Amino acid sequence: MTEPRVLRRRDAEFPQLLAAIHDPPRELYLRGGGTPEQLSYPAVAIVGARACSGYGRSVARSLARELAAAGLLVVSGMARGIDGEAHRGALEGGGITCAVLGCGIDRDYPAAHAELARRICERGLLVSEYEPGVEPAPWRFPARNRIIAGLCHATVVVEARERSGALITADFALEEGREVLAVPGEITSALSGGTNALLRLGATPVTGAGDALEVFGLSPAQEVRTSVGSAAESLLRNLREVALTADELVRMTGIDPAQASGALVELELARLITLEDGVYRASV
C-alpha cells in the first residue's frame, strides 16, 4: 500500500470546486498512483443504490465507461452496487476514477472491494477526509457524500429508493448549484422512487451518456464497433428492444440453442450486452 499523502485546503493543488462548498474538508488524504491535479479535472459523480437491480448495474457501468472514455473523471463512493459498477465502468473505458471513502484512508471499505481499490489506485485515487485508522461509521457516509458532490460539476443518480443515501449526494449538489441528472426507472419499482422524484423536481433525464456529456460541452468518444456474426446481430437487435433470457431469445429468433449460446458469449466479450440474474440486456 502506498503511503497516504495529505492535501490541505490552503495548498494550491486543493480542488477549487470542493473548496467552494459550504463545509469543505480541512484536508484530504490521498492514496494511489494518481496526482492531486486529477481532483480538479472535469468530473462527474455516478451514485445510486447498494442493493440495485441488474438493469441499474448495467446502466451505471455503461455510463461510466462512456463518460470516462470521453475524458471525464468518474467519482463515486466505492460502495456495493451502483458505486462499484461506476468505478469498474470507468476503468473499462480506459479512464481515471476517484473513490471517496467514509473511513480512514488506509481502509478498503467494504473489504469485498479490496481488489477494486487496488485497480483504482493504479492510475486514480482513493480520497478521504479521515486519517489512517478511522473506522467506518454510519454517520461518516452522509458526510463523505458532500465531498463526492463537491468534487464534481454534475451528479448522476442511477437508481435510488426514496430515502437512499444517493439522494443526499444529489441534495448537496443542488445546494451548491451543480447539475443533477437522474436515470428514469420503472414506476412500479421501489428502486426508482428516488430517481423519479428527482425528475419530478426538475433533474435532467439521462437516456444515454450524451445527456451527461452535454453538461460539459463534450461529445461521446468515437466508438469502434466490434464486428459480430449474423446470429449475434439477430440476438442484439432483439435485446435492444427488451431484456430477455436465453430461452426467450431462442424462442423469439428461432436460432439453434447451441448457436445462440455461442453468439451470446460473443456479444458479452464485445461488451455489447450484459448478463445479470439470468437476463441479458443490450449495453447502453
Q: Give the Cα separation of 246 and 267 in Å (integer).
A: 13
Q: Is residue 221 part of a domain?
A: no
169 and 277 both lie in a single domain: no
Mean pLDDT to the nearest integer, 277-284: 81
Tens-digit pLDDT profile for residues 54-84: 889 989 999 999 999 999 999 999 999 999 9
Q: Is residue 58 part of a domain?
A: yes
Tens-digit pLDDT profile for residues 109-133: 999 999 999 999 999 999 999 999 9
Q: Is residue 220 part of a domain?
A: no
Average pLDDT, the chain: 92
pLDDT on residue 226: 74
132 and 258 both lie in a single domain: no
User: How would residue 272 be classed by pLDDT, with cut points 50, 70 and 90?
Assistant: confident
At residue 73, what is the residue type?
L
| Other Cβ atoms within 10 Å of 215 Cβ, number | 17
- Asked if 39 contacts 75 with a C-beta cutoff of 8 angstroms, the reply is no
Task: Say if strands 73-76 and 43-47 run parallel, antiparallel, or are unpaired.
Answer: parallel
79 and 133 both lie in a single domain: yes
pLDDT on residue 190: 92
Q: Which of 190, 215, 240 is the last residue of a domain?
A: 215
Which domain does 268 fall in, by range? 230-282
pLDDT on residue 29: 97
Q: Which of 215, 248, 266 is the last residue of a domain?
A: 215
148 and 249 both lie in a single domain: no
Ramachandran angles phi, psi of 283, nearest 5°: -65, 150
Q: Is residue 106 part of a domain?
A: yes
Q: Give the Cα separation of 236 and 273 in Å (integer).
A: 8
83 and 106 both lie in a single domain: yes
CATH for 191: 3.40.50.450
User: How would residue 52 be classed by pLDDT, with cut points 50, 70 and 90?
Assistant: very high
User: How would residue 172 be classed by pLDDT, with cut points 50, 70 and 90?
Assistant: very high
172 and 268 both lie in a single domain: no
* Helices and strands in the chain: count of H runs, count of E runs: 11, 11
Q: Is residue 42 part of a domain?
A: yes
Q: Is residue 147 part of a domain?
A: yes
Tens-digit pLDDT profile for residues 231-262: 998 998 888 888 889 999 999 999 999 998 99
Q: Is residue 225 part of a domain?
A: no
pLDDT on residue 284: 64
162 and 27 both lie in a single domain: yes
Number of domains the chain is built from: 2
- Asked if 97 contacts 124 with a C-beta cutoff of 8 angstroms, the reply is yes
Q: Is residue 189 part of a domain?
A: yes
pLDDT on residue 222: 64
Place of cell 447539475: 179
- Asked if 84 contacts 110 with a C-beta cutoff of 8 angstroms, the reply is no
- Asked if 219 contacts 67 with a C-beta cutoff of 8 angstroms, the reply is no
Please check the confidence at residue 221 and state whether its pLDDT lies above 80: no
153 and 276 both lie in a single domain: no
pLDDT on residue 166: 92
61 and 101 both lie in a single domain: yes
pLDDT on residue 77: 96
Please check the confidence at residue 225 and state whether its pLDDT lies above 70: no
62 and 175 both lie in a single domain: yes
pTM, rounded to two decimals: 0.84
Q: Which of 169, 184, 215 is the last residue of a domain?
A: 215
Please check the confidence at residue 220 and state whether its pLDDT lies above 90: no
Please check the confidence at residue 270 and state whether its pLDDT lies above 70: yes
Burial grade of 139 (CB within 10 A; 0-12, 13-18, 19 or more): exposed
Tens-digit pLDDT profile for residues 7-26: 999 999 999 999 999 999 99
Query: Element (H or E) spanning 237, and its range?
Result: helix 230-239
156 and 25 both lie in a single domain: yes
CATH for 242: 1.10.10.10
Task: Say if strands 73-76 and 97-100 run parallel, antiparallel, or are unpaired.
Answer: parallel
254 and 113 both lie in a single domain: no
